Amino acid sequence: MEFTGKIIAILNPKGGVSSRTGNEWKVQEFVIEDHGQYPRKMCFEVFGADKIALFNIQMGEELTVSFDIDASPWQNRWFNRIRAWKVERVNNMNTTSQTPPAPSITSAPVPAPDFLEGENNDDLPF
């Protein structure tokens, strides 16, 4: 899934050591807002110090975030996790995925209508 918008918040990174494997981990959350009539916000996370550094997300950037959604239980409640696996700057996207330019407008003559306003020419068969 994808979400495109502007980064409006960067939360502090969290980290620790896995109790199962003993490996260190790091995660950081970001909030992105789209540009719809009723703007939607999404809080997503980037997992791993390497990906946090690779994505290098900055405040105010326009991004397209590709993400997966997963849920996990904790103390008899379920929590959703939105984890980014790819981040693209909007201005660096391929030109094939961008909106094509609008066609140019030419000044071709406009034909006159078959009827004129105020003309009472009722030629309907019913």
Look-up: residue for tokens 């918008």? 5
Please tell me the distance from the alpha carbon of residue 98 to that of residue 78, in angstroms, as a whole number. Answer: 37
Q: Is 51 helix (H, G, I), strand (E, B) or coil?
A: helix
pTM: 0.69
Using CA atoms, how far apart are residues 44 and 65, in angstroms rounded to an integer? 9
Q: Which domains does the chain have, with CATH numbers?
A: 2-93 (2.40.50.140)
Tens of pLDDT, residue by residue over 68-117, are 999 999 999 999 999 999 999 998 554 333 334 444 444 445 555 555 55
Q: What is the pLDDT of residues 15-34, one digit of tens each?
A: 999 888 889 999 999 999 99
